[in-house]
C-alpha cells in the first residue's frame, strides 16, 4: 500500500509538468496581453516595454515557463495585472469555491445516493419511473437555464433568497447555487447508484446474507451498499475536480467570487499568471482526489489490494 502511494505520487510529477506547460503554451498562443491593458488605445511603447519586462513577457516562452516553475516551488505564483499577488487571489477564491463544492457534494451524496438506493430497491415501481424521468430532465437542461430560472423564481418572484451571493459567501447563501452546480451530477449519481444496487441485489452474497437471517438493514448497508458504491465513489471523486473548475457558469450567475470568477477574469484579460496559477492548483486537486479515490477502493472492497 505504501509503495503504491509513493509510486502514484511520483507519477503525478510528469502529469503536473505536462499540464502546466500545455496551459502555459495555450495562454501564450493568444498573443500579447499587454496590448489589451491600455483599453481602446495603444499603450505608449515605452510603458508597454516596461510592463512586459515587469511581468517577464519579454523573454522567450520556454524561459518564462522555467522561471515560472522555479518560482512556484518557492510559493510565488506571480502578480496579476491589477497588482495583486496571485496567491492572494487564491486565498480569496479557493475557500469560497471549496465551500460551494462541499455543498454540491453533500447534495450529491445525500440526495443522489439516497434516491438511487430507493429506486434501485423498487425497480419498475412508480417511484423508480418517476425518478428516472426527473433525472433525465435534469441531465437534459443546461446548468445556466436551471440557475437563471431558480434565481428568477426564488430570488426575484418569491424573494426567498438573495439573487446574488455576498462577497463573504457564507454557507447558507450557497445552498441554491450548490444545488444548481450539483444538479447534473446528482442525476448521474442517482442513476449510477440505482443500476448498481439493482444489479447487486441478485448477487450470491446478498442471497447468502438474507438466507443467514441477517436483519434487512444490515444486509443493505454492509453487503449491498458497500459493494454497489464503488462506481459511485469513482464518479464523485472525479466530479470534485470537475465541479471546482466547472463552477464558472454557476459562479457567474450568482456572482460568487470564487475560482470560476478568477479564471474567467484571467482568460478575458489574458492574464497568464492568474490562469496558469489557478489551473495548476486545480490540476493538483484533481490528481490528489483521484489518488484518494483509488485508496478508498481498498477500504470498500478488501478484495481490491495494491501490492
Partner 1 sequence: MRGATHVTRAACAVAVALAAGACGGGAAPAGGPDGIVTSSWGDPQNPLEPANTNEVQGGKVLDMIFRGLKRYDPRTGEAEDMLAERIDTTDSVDFTVTVKSGWTFSNGEPVTAKSFVDAWNYGAHLRNNQRNAYFFGYIEGYDQVHPASGQPTAQTMSGLKVTGERTFTVKLTQKFSTWPETLGYAAFAPLPSSFFSDHDAWLARPVGNGPYAVDSYTRGSRMSLRRWDGYPGDDKARNGGVDLKVYTDSNTAYTDLTAGHLDLVDDVPASQLRNVEADLGDRYINTPAGIIQTIAFPYYDPDWNKPGQEKVRRGLSMAINRQQITDTIFQRTRTPAKDWTSPVLGPDGGYDASLCGGSCTYDPARARKLIAEGGGIPGGQVKITYNADTGSHKEWVDAVCNSINNALGNNRACVGNPVGTFADYRNQITRSRMSGPFRAGWQMDYPLIQNFLQPLYYTNASSNDGKWSNEEFDRLVDQANAETDPARAIETFKQAEGVVRDQMAAIPLWYQNGSAGYSERISNVSLNQFSVPVYEEITVG
Q: Which residues bind partner 1 (CB under 8 A)?
A: 30-33, 35-47, 49-51, 54, 81-84, 88-89, 92, 102-103, 106, 151-152, 155-156, 159-164, 167, 170-173, 175, 251-255, 257, 261, 264-265, 267-270
Q: Of 35 and 66, which CB lies nearer to partner 1 in the complex structure?
A: 35
Q: What are phi and psi of 194, to 5 degrees?
A: -60, -50
Rounded to a whole number of angstroms, the minimum distance from the CB of residue 168 to partner 1 is 9
Which of 259, 134, 271 has its CA nearest to residue 194?
A: 134
Q: Of 108 and 173, which CB lies nearer to partner 1 in the complex structure?
A: 173
| CA–CA distance, 88 with 98 (Å, rounded to integer) | 16
Rounded to a whole number of angstroms, the minimum distance from the CB of residue 192 to partner 1 is 22
Rounded to a whole number of angstroms, the minimum distance from the CB of residue 161 to partner 1 is 6
Rounded to a whole number of angstroms, the minimum distance from the CB of residue 233 to partner 1 is 18
Three-state DSSP class for residue 85: strand
Q: Of 248 and 293, which CB lies nearer to partner 1 in the complex structure?
A: 248
Rounded to a whole number of angstroms, the minimum distance from the CB of residue 209 to partner 1 is 28
| CA–CA distance, 34 with 43 (Å, rounded to integer) | 8
Q: Of 99 and 194, which CB lies nearer to partner 1 in the complex structure?
A: 99
Rounded to a whole number of angstroms, the minimum distance from the CB of residue 224 to partner 1 is 23
Which of 225, 150, 163 has its CA nearest to residue 194?
A: 225
Between the CA of residue 127 and those of 115, 132, 195, what are the distances in Å? Answer: 10, 9, 15
Q: Of 55 and 196, which CB lies nearer to partner 1 in the complex structure?
A: 55
Q: Of 272 and 280, which CB lies nearer to partner 1 in the complex structure?
A: 272
Left if phi > 0, otherwise alpha if psi is -120 to 50, otherwise beta: which for 84? beta
Query: Could you write out the DSSP letters of every residue in 160-181?
Result: SS-SS--TT--GGGGHHHHHHH
Rounded to a whole number of angstroms, the minimum distance from the CB of residue 90 to partner 1 is 12
Which of 180, 146, 164 has its CA nearest to residue 256?
A: 164
How far is CA 68 from its chain centroid?
25
Q: Of 43 and 210, which CB lies nearer to partner 1 in the complex structure?
A: 43
Amino acid at each position: 500500500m505504501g509503495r503504491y502511494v509513493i509510486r502514484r505520487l511520483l507519477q503525478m510529477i510528469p502529469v503536473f509538468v505536462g499540464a502546466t506547460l500545455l496551459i502555459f503554451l495555450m495562454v501564450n498562443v493568444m498573443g500579447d496581453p499587454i496590448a489589451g491593458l491600455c483599453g481602446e488605445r495603444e499603450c505608449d511603447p515605452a510603458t508597454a516595454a516596461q510592463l512586459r519586462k515587469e511581468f517577464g513577457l519579454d523573454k522567450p516562452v520556454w524561459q518564462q515557463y522555467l522561471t515560472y516553475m522555479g518560482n512556484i516551488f518557492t510559493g510565488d505564483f506571480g502578480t496579476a495585472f491589477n497588482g495583486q499577488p496571485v496567491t492572494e487571489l487564491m486565498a480569496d477564491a479557493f475557500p469560497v469555491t471549496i465551500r460551494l463544492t462541499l455543498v454540491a457534494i453533500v447534495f450529491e451524496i445525500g440526495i443522489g445516493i439516497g434516491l438511487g438506493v430507493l429506486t434501485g430497491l423498487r425497480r419498475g415501481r412508480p417511484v423508480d419511473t418517476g425518478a428516472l424521468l426527473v433525472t433525465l430532465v435534469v441531465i437534459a437542461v443546461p446548468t445556466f437555464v436551471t440557475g437563471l430560472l431558480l434565481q428568477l423564481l426564488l430570488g426575484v418572484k418569491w424573494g426567498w433568497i438573495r439573487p446574488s451571493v455576498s462577497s463573504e459567501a457564507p454557507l447558507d447563501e450557497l445552498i441554491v447555487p450548490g444545488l444548481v452546480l450539483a444538479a447534473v451530477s446528482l442525476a448521474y449519481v442517482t442513476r449510477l447508484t440505482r443500476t448498481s444496487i439493482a444489479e447487486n441485489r441478485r448477487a450470491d452474497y446478498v442471497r447468502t446474507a438474507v438466507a443467514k437471517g441477517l436483519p434487512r438493514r444490515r444486509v443493505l448497508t454492509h453487503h449491498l451498499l458497500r459493494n454497489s458504491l464503488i462506481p459511485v465513489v469513482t464518479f464523485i471523486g472525479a466530479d470534485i475536480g470537475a465541479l471546482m473548475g466547472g463552477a464558472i457558469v454557476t459562479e457567474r450567475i450568482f456572482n460568487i467570487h470564487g475560482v470560476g470568477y478568477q479564471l474567467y477574469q484571467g482568460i478575458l484579460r489574458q492574464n497568464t499568471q492568474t490562469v496558469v496559477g489557478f489551473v495548476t492548483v486545480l490540476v493538483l486537486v484533481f490528481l490528489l482526489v483521484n489518488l484518494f479515490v483509488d485508496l478508498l477502493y481498498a477500504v470498500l472492497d478488501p478484495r481490491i489490494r495494491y501490492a
